[in-house]
């Protein structure tokens, strides 16, 4: 194995890891604020990919142009889902919450199969198609743009949470809902905001993925398992932890595929996941 192959593999791992991080950030925000595990999060990503495909196929709008529109659409969809469905199970037993989001996952997947059939689709000849040479490495331009886009979206989320009053209110609700309510913070508003931002993050990841990954109704299943691994590794509720854990998972996955074979790359990630659960169950950046 040459240094060039190793460097190329590491770069690929970092780029796909940034996408994993973006998907996981939306998932960890919903859990951090509401303590609800959203099994339908992968379907938000799927809807973002289909939105990108149809806007490109019907109106010739490039994914980079439709990214803000898709993010806004998914944000509104997340808020609507909260107001119509999730608000009814906030105080329900945990099993009720799990079954509700699990059922929502299959509902959204079934609707997608009914409307668009289980065919594989793709966005071809977009503005970011082709390859580019960076520091002597030949990288796919869609993957590079997706990685940079994931970093930018993550930076916006981090700034929002740490430098705005609304972000501070969201963090306060995540830390102690009852205390935040006593300080005049509307918890239901924060919950709906968390669902909106979570869905928007998944939608953004879907747009970025659509430029190089096949689009089909079950595509969310390819990412939701790794998103849960990333959230657990980074620490539930930690946006920063999800970001670094996503990169770590991406690198470990591609290195495992290179050293052991593609059929073992997921197994390597899951072994790491089990190890962290055994020795640091709160995650790499979670509170002890």
Q: Indicate yes or no: pTM above 0.75.
A: yes
Number of domains in the chain: 1
CA separation, residue 245 to residues 17, 36, 68, 205, 269 (Å): 8, 20, 26, 16, 11
Asked whether the beta carbons of 197 and 22 are under 8 A apart, the reply is: no
Question: In this structure, is residue 286 part of a structural domain?
Answer: no
Q: What is the pLDDT of residues 126-138, one digit of tens each?
A: 888 888 887 777 8
Please check whether residue 203 lies inside any domain of the structure.
yes
Q: What's the whole-number average pLDDT of the chain?
A: 90
Residue at 262 is within a domain: yes
**224 belongs to a structural domain:** yes
Going by the DSSP 8-state scheme, the letter that residue 92 receives in this structure is S
Residue 248 placed within a domain: yes
Residue 284 is assigned to a structural domain of this protein: no
Residues 124 and 129: their CA atoms lie apart, in Å, by 8
Residue reference for tokens 């993925």:
209
Give the domain range for residue 203. 3-279
User: Would residue 90 count as lying in a domain?
Assistant: yes
In a domain, 78, yes or no: yes
**pLDDT tens per residue across span 47-102:** 999 999 999 999 999 999 999 999 999 999 999 999 999 999 988 998 999 999 99
Residue 34 has pLDDT above 70, yes or no: yes
- Res 287 pLDDT > 70: no
């Amino acid at each position: 194995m040459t240094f060039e192959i190793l460097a190329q593999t590491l770069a690929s791992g970092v780029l796909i890891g940034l996408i994993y991080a973006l998907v996981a950030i939306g998932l960890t925000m919903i859990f951090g604020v509401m303590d609800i595990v959203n099994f339908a999060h992968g379907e938000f990503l799927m809807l973002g990919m289909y939105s990108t495909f149809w806007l490109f196929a019907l109106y010739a709008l490039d994914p980079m142009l439709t990214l803000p529109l898709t993010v806004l659409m998914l944000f509104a969809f997340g808020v609507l889902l909260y107001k119509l469905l999730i608000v009814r199970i906030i105080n329900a037993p945990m099993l009720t919450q799990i079954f509700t989001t699990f059922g929502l996952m299959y509902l959204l997947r079934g609707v997608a199969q009914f409307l668009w059939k289980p065919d594989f689709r793709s966005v071809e000849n977009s503005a970011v198609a082709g390859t580019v040479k960076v520091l002597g490495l030949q990288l796919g331009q869609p993957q590079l743009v997706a990685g940079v886009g994931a970093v930018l979206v993550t930076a916006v989320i981090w700034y929002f949470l740490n430098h705005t009053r609304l972000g501070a209110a969201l963090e306060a609700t995540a830390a102690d809902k009852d205390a935040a309510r006593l300080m005049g913070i509307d918890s239901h508003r924060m919950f709906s905001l968390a669902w909106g931002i979570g869905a928007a993050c998944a939608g953004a990841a879907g747009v970025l993925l659509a430029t190089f990954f096949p689009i089909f109704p079950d595509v969310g299943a390819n990412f939701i398992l790794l998103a849960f691994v990333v959230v657990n590794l980074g620490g539930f509720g930690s946006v920063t932890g999800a970001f670094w854990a996503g990169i770590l998972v991406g690198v470990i996955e591609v290195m495992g595929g290179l050293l052991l074979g593609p059929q073992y790359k997921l197994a390597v990630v899951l072994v790491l996941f089990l190890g962290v659960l055994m020795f640091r169950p709160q995650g790499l950046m979670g509170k002890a």
